[in-house]
Each structure stands twice: as C-alpha cells, then as structure tokens.
Amino acid sequence: MKSLVFINACVRQTDSRTLRIAEPIVEALSARYQITRYNLPDMDIDPLNPYLYAGRSRGEIPAWAVEAASSLAKADRILIAAPFWDMSFPAVLKCFFEQTSLFDITFTDNGKNCVGLCQAPKVLYITTRGMDIATGSEWEQATPYIRAIGRLWNLGPLTTIDARNMDYSTEDEIEGKIARAVAEGTELAKTW
C-alpha cells in the first residue's frame, strides 16, 4: 500500500472546523493509503532555538524529527490541515517544517543549488479562513509558503480545499461550507 503523511496543525483540536473537514477526507484516503499522522498540537514542537541549532551543527537532531523527515521523504502523498492564522498558518506548522527540513533527508545540494529528496507527486492542503479571502490572494500567505517548501523538497503540485468567511457566516452557512468542502475532498480522494 502507498503511504500518506497527514500533518494536522489544527490547534483548536476537536473544536476545529478545519479538522472536521480533514478527518473524513483522511478516512476516505485511508482506503488507498497507509496513513502516518502527526498531531502537531500534541507534540510540543520548539522552533529551531540556539540550543537545537548548536546540536544540529554537531549532527545531533531530535530522533522524532529525523523519523518525521524520513516519513515525509518517502511519502507518496502529503496532506496538511491547518486553519488560517494571521494571514498564514499556525506557528506550530512552521516549527514542524523547521525541524523536519533536514539536509540529506528532505533535501540535499549539488554544490550549486539545493535539490529536493522527497518523492510525493501531490500535496493537499485543507484550510478554513475567518475572512472572505481566496486562495492565492495577496492576503493569503499560507499556500505560497507550502508551495515554496514543496519546491525545496521536490514535492509535486499543491491542491487546496478551503472554506471561507467562516467568522462572518451563520451557523447554517458554516455547516454548509464544511459539508461542501468535505464533499469536494472525498470526491477528490477517489482519484488523488
């Protein structure tokens, strides 16, 4: 069975609308992929601070980060669920990328440039936004970053499923948006 890494950056956990959209899509994908799941809000992930940076220069890298980076490098698909925070995604996701963007695991170099070592040809990003901001708008700085780290790591094209204006919609409207995003994702999951 092919493998899928699910990166869950939904800090509000069971209250998260983003996670409510992601869970049934991951469930649908689990019919075709072996899922490795990282629940970032439970992981107590530090940014790369002076202590960790000094360790890294001595080749000392936290075992969990090596393991996660290796899973990412080998994965056939990567799915990221993260709410829209401060015009991007929660800092815990950036900390996860900092810790797992590892030389000779997710990327290397050829003496002139960096070369990605990952192999997933497709990445799916699921998000909900409080304001009515479209994917790709200049107000939206999550997808440009995820695309850029994908370039560094040699990941394939990014597909985004979003639900918007969530903080300015009625409860019924919010439920409708969640249902539409789940339907879009589960349909995609049949062939993705």
Ligand X SMILES: Cc1cc2nc3c(=O)[nH]c(=O)nc-3n(C[C@H](O)[C@H](O)[C@H](O)COP(=O)(O)O)c2cc1C
Residues that bind ligand X (CB under 6 A): 10, 12, 16-19, 83-87, 128-131, 133, 166-167
Phi and psi torsions of 86, nearest 5°: 50, 50
State the residue number with the nearest CB to ligand X: 130
158-163 and 77-81: which strand pairing?
unpaired
As measured in angstroms, the least distance from the Cβ of 17 to ligand X is: 4
Long-range contacts of 88-92 (CB under 8 A, 24+ apart): 88/141, 88/142, 88/145, 89/9, 89/127, 89/142, 89/145, 90/9, 90/11, 90/40, 91/47, 92/9, 92/11, 92/40, 92/41, 92/43, 92/45
As measured in angstroms, the least distance from the Cβ of 165 to ligand X is: 8
CB closer to ligand X, 128 vs 143: 128
Asked whether the beta carbons of 124 and 77 are under 8 A apart, the reply is yes
CB closer to ligand X, 134 vs 148: 134
CB closer to ligand X, 117 vs 163: 163
As measured in angstroms, the least distance from the Cβ of 144 to ligand X is: 15
CB closer to ligand X, 102 vs 163: 163
As measured in angstroms, the least distance from the Cβ of 117 to ligand X is: 31
